[in-house]
Amino acid sequence: MSDGASRAGSRADDLGMTKPSNAAPRSGRRRSLNGLTIQLAAVALTFLLVALLVASSSYAAFVATTDNTADTVTSGGVALSDNDSGSAMFASEGPLTPGNNLSRCIDVTYTGTVNPGPVYLYSAGVTGDAGTYFNLTVEVGPDTADAFGNCSSFSATSTLYTGTIAAFQSSKNSYATGISTWDPAASGETRTFRFTVSVANDQNAQNRTTNFGFTWETRSA
């Protein structure tokens, strides 16, 4: 290098025209400081918003309420009862002979809490094949003071069925096919039913036995 170039370079250094060797690190530090400043500003803004929300909720508008909380509903129900105390009307009765009738009475009472539909009577089932040899008559009347099974005070207002026990089972074996007996108007209403059984005047009816029963059913109107 010539003396002239050396002197020019020396003058440039004296005038501060050469780039400092630590310029790049200073620029990186400035970017780091700017990022930190932004983060701090974001945190400060978040705290400010939270403070505003708390202040708003602390100073809400006037509030008033009213309520109705003591409400209760109860469902009603339909129910029937009778006075048999679990005993059969015809408890191994016999031996029957043609011309001799056997009658038994039972009280049925509506005990539900809602207005029901009509009370239907139908067969509770028949066992054995002898039902064709036994005749059955069913009548209904007002409530009597007679004990279960006793028909001393019974007075029929309607005959509901006349035929054989077997025919009653085959034709009246469900609510849908049952006989409408009466339509209770209120709880506690009672009807008395008289069932009369006789044996057919048929040589083939000798030494026959059949088992049978009855069901009363009502449903809500």
Distance CA 149, CA 88 (A): 9
Give the C-alpha separation, 13 to 69, whole Å: 92
* Dihedral of alpha carbons 26, 30, 32, 33, sign: positive
Amino acid identity, position 103: S
Nearest to 214 by CA among 132, 112, 138, 153: 138
Domain 80-217 annotated CATH 2.30.29:
no
Give tens-digit pLDDT for 144-178: 999 999 999 999 999 999 999 999 999 999 999 99
Q: Is the pLDDT of residue 21 over 80?
A: no
pTM of the full structure: 0.71
Closest CA to 121 of 193, 211, 221: 193
pLDDT-derived band at 130, boundaries 50, 70, 90:
confident
Question: By mean pLDDT, which of 23-27, 33-37, 172-176, 185-189 is the weakest?
Answer: 23-27
What pLDDT, on a 0 to 100 scale, did the predictor assign at position 164?
Answer: 97
d(CA 9, CA 1): 11
Q: Which helix (H) or strand (E) holds 110?
A: strand 102-110
Give the pLDDT of residue 2.
46
Mean pLDDT estimate for the chain: 85
pLDDT interval class at 27 (50, 70, 90): low
Nearest residue to 126 (alpha-carbon basis) of 214, 194, 217: 214
Contact 88, 113 (CB under 8 A): no
Of 27-31, 132-136, 160-164, the poorest mean pLDDT is in 27-31
pLDDT of 221 = 87
Which residue(s) pair with 142 in the sheet? Answer: 191
pLDDT the model gives residue 52:
62
Q: What is the dihedral of CA 28, 32, 35, 36, to 10 degrees?
A: -170
Q: Look-up: residue for tokens 């057919």? A: 200
Contacts of residue 19, Cβ cutoff 8 Å, sequence gap at least 6: none
| pLDDT tens per residue across span 114-123 | 999 999 999 9
